[in-house]
Structure 1
Amino acid sequence: ADYHLKELSMGEHCQPVSGMRNALNYSEEQGLEQGWCAREWFIVNKAEIQITKDSVMVPRVEMGVEARETFKSETGLQDVPITRPDHPLVQYADAFTHNFELIAERKSVVFHLRELA
Structure 2
Amino acid sequence: MEPVRPRTSWTFVTNHARILAMILKDPETRLRDMAQTCQITERAAQAIVTDLETAGYLTRVRNGRRNHYAVTPETLFRHPAEGQHQIADLLQVLVDLDPRAGAAGPPTAEGDQRERDPHG
Normalising by the smaller structure, the TM-score range is: under 0.3
TM-score of the superposition, structure 1-length normalised? 0.24
Higher strand share: 1
Higher relative contact order (CA 8 A, sep 6+): 1
TM-score of the superposition, structure 2-length normalised? 0.24
